[in-house]
């Protein structure tokens, strides 16, 4: 722990900066979650890959799974902004986005840390110059 503390202190980051760094990290994470979910909702990667991979049988399996998910997703109808959306597609796209985020995790976690660190140092520089 003392090595980490010394490292961050050498970079000008203190314990007082931690709440803002966590906020930035989580805000970037929520933005990434929303972007991948929306992207998968509209792009429908499972259908595209499924139709390329094995044709009609895979497509039928995907459609059957979507119908099953649609029946299970009745609780989404209670969310005001999602009433007009395809509930089955929402659930499937969330699963697709989850897979996509897990595949990209070796890149996104360090990127989020880097963005948070840069945001903290930028704010500290702006405060110091004013």
Question: Position of tokens 């139709």?
Answer: 51
pLDDT-derived band at 76, boundaries 50, 70, 90? low
The token duo for 75 is 């609780």
Alpha carbon 120 to its chain centroid, in Å, reads: 22
- Per the listing, tokens 């990127």 go with 111
Number of CB atoms found within 10 A of residue 46's CB: 19
pLDDT attached to residue 72: 63
**Section 54-61 average pLDDT:** 67
Query: With the C-alpha atoms ordered 10, 11, 16, 22, is the resulting torsion angle positive or negative?
Result: negative
Residues 43-58: what's their mean pLDDT? 71
Residue indicated by tokens 């972007």: 35
Q: What share of the chain is helix, strand, coil (3-state, %, to 5)?
A: 90, 0, 10
More confident residue, 76 or 40: 40
pTM value?
A: 0.71
């Amino acid at each position: 722990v003392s090595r980490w503390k010394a490292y961050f202190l050498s970079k000008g980051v203190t314990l007082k900066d931690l709440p803002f760094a966590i906020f930035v990290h989580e805000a970037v994470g929520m933005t990434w979650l929303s972007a991948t979910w929306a992207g998968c909702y509209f792009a429908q990667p499972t259908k595209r890959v499924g139709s390329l991979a094995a044709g009609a049988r895979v497509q039928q399996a995907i459609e059957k799974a979507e119908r099953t998910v649609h029946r299970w997703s009745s609780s989404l109808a209670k969310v005001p902004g999602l009433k007009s959306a395809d509930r089955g597609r929402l659930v499937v796209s969330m699963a697709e986005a989850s897979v996509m985020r897990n595949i990209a995790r070796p890149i996104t976690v360090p990127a989020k840390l880097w963005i948070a660190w840069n945001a903290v140092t930028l704010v500290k520089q702006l405060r110091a110059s004013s």
